[in-house]
Amino acid sequence: MITDAANHQPSPTKSRTSLPSLAAGLTVIIALCTAAGSAADDPYGDWIGTLVTDQGHNCPVNSTSLLQIKPKRMIFNPEMGSLVLRGKPDKAKQHYHAQLVMEDANHKPLPMVFEAHPVGDTFEGVYGTPECRAHITLKRPESRSWKNFLGND
């Protein structure tokens, strides 16, 4: 508010037109920062969730798993442990596949596979090994909203 210095009274010319503009601008910025785009349109970044066993045993279902998608590579990290499944994302076909093939105690291949596809603002995925099949819903971590809005490192 503008005041007249002589008698500390508000001057007749008040500038209130900038306040609504400022409020509208802040509303747009807040909406952009908090609104999550669809996973199909903006798959890049980190996604987290917890696997749920469908069948089998030895499924990594006790803590949070991570899916990280970048334009040319992706990883899936069950329970954020030491195993990392790697792949190349295909945004055009909405196909997200990662795998890791290890050797079991009998020197036979032990494949671990992860498949995911976008559903709204989440990813729905399936993790499988010879002993386990589990599904997961992955969401963007809330603590990284600015990074998700501005892009990756």
Those residues whose C-beta lies under 8 Å from the C-beta of residue 127, and which sit 6 or more positions away, are 51, 59, 60, 65, 76, 78, 112, 113, 114, 133, 134, 135, 136
- CATH for 45-150 is 2.40.128
pTM above 0.85, yes or no: no
Domain boundary assignment for the chain: 3-34, 45-150
Condensed to tens digits (0 to 9), the pLDDT of residues 68-93 reads: 999 999 999 999 999 999 999 999 99
pLDDT at 113 over 80: yes
